[in-house]
Structure 1
Amino acid sequence: MGLSATGLGSGMDIGSMVSKIVEAERAPKQERIVKNMNDVETNISAYGRLKTSLDTMKDLMYDFRRNNTFASRSTVSDNPETVSASADHQAVTGVYSIDVQQLAQSHKLVSDGLDAKADFGAGKLTLNLGGRSATIEIKPEESTLLDIVRTINKHPSNPGIKASVINDDSGARMILGGDKTGADNQLAVTVNAPITSPLQALAFNPASQNNAMNEMQAAKDARILIDGLALVSSETNTFSDAIRGVDIEVSKVTTAEDGPVTVNVDEDRATVKASLEQFVDAYNAFYQVTKALSKYDPETQQGGPLVGDSVIRSAVNQMRSLFSTPIEGAPDSLKTLSELGLSTTMDGRLEINNAMLDKQLAQNFSALDGFFGGNNGFARKVEEAVQSFTGVAGTIRNRESSLGDQRVRLRDEQETLDRRMEDLQNRTLKQFSAMDNAMGEMQSQLSAMMNIMPS
């Protein structure tokens, strides 16, 4: 709080004097608090950067392990517009011939031409689709063809049947279509109304040859022939595990002229290599962070916020140890990361020997998942190492918690100092004011004495 009071008795600038006294008392304590607070905030930020760089590696390895990245498979179709495919890590590599004999279809019905403006009267329609059914009441005051369409579409128990109306030369036609493909998802419409009711024009029984409505599109399963031997059907145009670990999506029927589609399932070396490059980049980013935080410049005698910190040394040493330590239970042909072509350079970075890696990917791909995957593989080892630093009970978390406590204490010290300085200011101001008042009274008394003395 600024002071500007001027002593009436002494003529001194009391406010300025009090401020200087208070500032002289505050300065060394305030400087210490500010310096310590800056150090705490700098260290919290530094540990945050270190933790983020470590967690990036951990998260990558978790994703690789969860997604079985190092056993990835690729698929190539020579006619993707007709047949496309995707494969998981369980797929057996090979070349497969796919002949698409039939696509899956949903069931569709169409009525004869009807009078769109006529009332069809009261009654009930029971709609069935693949074993799911709903009974829909048609009210006499809402019984035009459009009314019936709206009632069907908005019914809460509709089993998945979409109704619509088209108009052609013969009149208005109702179309009913199922929302699921497959031979088992046939439509049926049972009419509960007098035999003479116009609603009877909407009846359909798939088991009967005589129906009021007509089959516009039959319900069909998709059907493919694999390698000229295995005939496989599916309710949809997707075939899951017809070939182990492979999902096949068909879009067109193959013709005798074009012949079957060839699908090649292979080891996905490109994805694995890109994943390893991701990890190398993540480690090198971590290593650059450690160098920036722990560097020391002898010329300026300035160091990074964590110079000399044992946490950084420990983190780097643990990661480097993982790179050279054999993984127990891994295939004999791939026990360490360096055998895959990944090793540390003289300056501490991790680099890839592409020739060595490409050779391992080409000749020893099946060993990668055994080295990286599982609960004891390299990926899990990286996760555990990082967790020991960044986890709830990790070293970095403990340091951050301690720094947080220091920050709270410094804030408390700041509040205490502010209160003490405010008390000092008020107390000193009162003292100076009292002195100034006393001096004013003395001057008044002196002036009075001078006035009564003879000149």
Structure 2
Amino acid sequence: MAGVTGIGSGIDIDGIVSSMVAAERAPKETQLANLEKKTTTQITAVGALKSAVSAFQTALESLNKPELFQARSATSSKTDLVGITASTTAGAGSYQVEVKSLASGSKVALAAISNTTEAPAAFASGTLSISLGVPGSPPTTESFSITVDESNNSLAGVRDAINASGNEMGVSATIVTDEEGSRLVLSSSKTGAGRDIRLSVPDEVAAETGQTALSSLAFDGAASSTGAGPRVLSSAESAELTIDGLRVLSETNKVEGAIEGVTLDLKAETADNEPLTIGVVVDEAGVKKQVQSFVDAYNKLIGVINAQTKVAPVGGGAPVTGALVGDATARTLLGTIRNELVNIQGDGAIRALTDMGITTQKDGTLAIDSDKLDKTLAGSFEQLSGFFTGDTGLAARLDDKLKPYTETGGILEQRNKVMTETISGIDKQKEDLTRRIASLQERLYKQFNAMDLLVGQLSNTSSSLLASLDNLPWAANNSKS
């Protein structure tokens, strides 16, 4: 509340009030600003810590998988001819493979039909059945049928009906026009000897004038005629290959079960007497990569903790302190992890990380002796699995220690909640300070303005008294003398 200033007293009331208000406001504002800055920095630090712990837990989860240590690495000397994948049941070994022929599907061209723009073909009504032989003992047949009537009795209509109904069975149709006329050409995506396409007409209506008998599309899939007759363009065949000289037949080009746990993807035939080599070995490289990911995630976590809890000297000036220096949460977390890492497990060849070449450095991070780890992978692979995996393995034990920190409602979340509440409290204190300072300023202005008014009144009274005294007789005589 600003008013007319210093009229009665000549005092700079605005300056005095501003100075007094600033003196009252500054210490509290500085205190709140410092607390807000510190708390915000700690919130950021705790967030970074939680993120690093979560990343470490992800690495632990990936490491705690028995199937990782059961994985197989499969190789082919000529991947353009034969691809290979291996499951955990595959035995280690090397094999010589020759691909004699690839599996193929059936393809037939039906009898040529006169079909022009001026006189398009029109079939008599009836039922057309398309079937594929299925190898077996005894062989069976899978089939589908289409109904031909006035709505679809053209070549294009029959083609579309076959494509719509034959999709699930892998049969498709198209129209090819050669020197003899237009033909329906049917292809099957199903491979394997005996899966040849056959067409029959179990039910048809006699052709009317200008129509073509539906039975003209019948084909037994075997007899291949010339001229306008139907013909086999390619027969359905099984793949033939040899594995270490043993003959193998497969209905498809994905050969499963010939070698236990191994799938061969046949892409092309091999040259005569030039077999390729396929190999299956334990996937040591995959395990080593995962161990490296574990070490990297741990080192990242240590880096975050070190950055937030250490005091770093800076030349001759004040040292730079981390946001969590002296923080009990960070110290306890670090101590818990380190205690678990050095814990001796079992009585085999691998009882601790040092047994596989993983050691702790001066800064608390881990380092891998690659040669020693390779020797461990080669000589004690199964023991390595037992050390890391399972309910009592290192990965599970570490994860159990870390869960209280990162789970919902855990230590770090509670810590963050408290600091967030502190920030909210600071905002409230700022509002309270603003109200208190405004009240103080208003009170001071009232007091100083009242004083200024009183001083003005006293000054006027003093002047009036002096004037009255000057007019008294004795004062006048004195002035004459």
Using structure 2 for the length normalisation, give the TM-score: 0.75
Partner of 1:219: 236
Out of 94, 118, 121, the position equivalent to 1:119 is 121
State whether structure 2 residue 218 is matched by structure 1 residue 203: yes
Partner of 1:160: 170
In structure 2, the CA distance between the partners of 1:370 and 1:116, relative to structure 1 (3 Å rule), is: farther
Question: Where does 1:58-69 land on structure 2 (aligned, <5 Å)?
Answer: 58-66=57-65, 68-69=67-68
Out of 238, 253, 258, the position equivalent to 1:237 is 253
Contact 1:190 1:203 in 2 (8 A): yes
In structure 2, the CA distance between the partners of 1:107 and 1:343, relative to structure 1 (3 Å rule), is: same
State whether structure 2 residue 304 is matched by structure 1 residue 286: no
Out of 338, 342, 355, the position equivalent to 1:324 is 342
Offset, 1:210: 8.9
Question: Where does 1:20-419 land on structure 2 (aligned, <5 Å)?
Answer: 27-66=26-65, 68-117=67-116, 118-121=120-123, 122-128=125-131, 134-154=144-164, 159-183=169-193, 187-191=197-201, 192-194=203-205, 196=207, 197-205=212-220, 213-229=230-246, 231=248, 233=250, 235-258=251-274, 260-297=275-312, 300-328=318-346, 332-414=348-430
Matched residue of 1:242: which SS?
A: coil
Offset, 1:90: 3.2
Offset, 1:94: 0.9
Offset, 1:81: 1.9
Q: Deviations over 1:144-166 (max 9, x none)?
A: 32233334435697543322222
Contact 2:248 2:258 in 1 (8 A): no
Which is worse superposed, 374-383 or 44-53? 374-383
Matched residue of 2:122: which SS?
A: coil
Using structure 1 for the length normalisation, give the TM-score: 0.78
CA distance in 2, matches of 1:400, 1:9: 53
CA distance in 2, matches of 1:360, 1:183: 49
Partner of 1:447: none
The alignment yields a C-alpha RMSD, in angstroms, of: 4.2
Offset, 1:46: 0.8
Contact 2:5 2:14 in 1 (8 A): no
Offset, 1:243: 2.4
What are the ranges of 5 or more consecutive residues in structure 2 without an aligned counterpart? 135-140, 458-481
Which is worse superposed, 23-32 or 172-181? 23-32
CA distance in 2, matches of 1:421, 1:154: 82
Partner of 1:451: none
Q: Deviations over 1:332-371 (max 9, x none)?
A: 1222211011111233221112232222222222332222
The size of the alignment, in residue pairs, is: 435
Offset, 1:25: 6.0
Partner of 2:474: none
Q: What is the one-letter code of the residue matched to 1:167?
A: T
CA distance in 1, matches of 2:17, 2:160: 86
Q: What is the one-letter code of the residue matched to 1:144?
A: S
Q: What is the one-letter code of the residue matched to 2:214?
A: L
Matched residue of 1:403: which SS?
A: helix
In structure 2, the CA distance between the partners of 1:240 and 1:159, relative to structure 1 (3 Å rule), is: closer
Offset, 1:241: 4.1
Q: What is the one-letter code of the residue matched to 1:47?
A: V
What are the ranges of 5 or more consecutive residues in structure 1 without an aligned counterpart? 443-455
CA distance in 2, matches of 1:128, 1:22: 99
Offset, 1:6: 7.3
CA distance in 2, matches of 1:107, 1:15: 103
CA distance in 1, matches of 2:163, 2:445: 86
Using the aligned pairs only, state the percent identity. Answer: 29
Partner of 1:449: none
Matched residue of 1:335: which SS?
A: coil
Contact 2:114 2:181 in 1 (8 A): yes
Contact 2:223 2:231 in 1 (8 A): no
Contact 1:22 1:424 in 2 (8 A): no
Contact 1:133 1:158 in 2 (8 A): no
Matched residue of 1:380: which SS?
A: helix
Offset, 1:230: 6.5
Computing the radius of gyration from Cα coordinates, the structure with the larger value is: 2
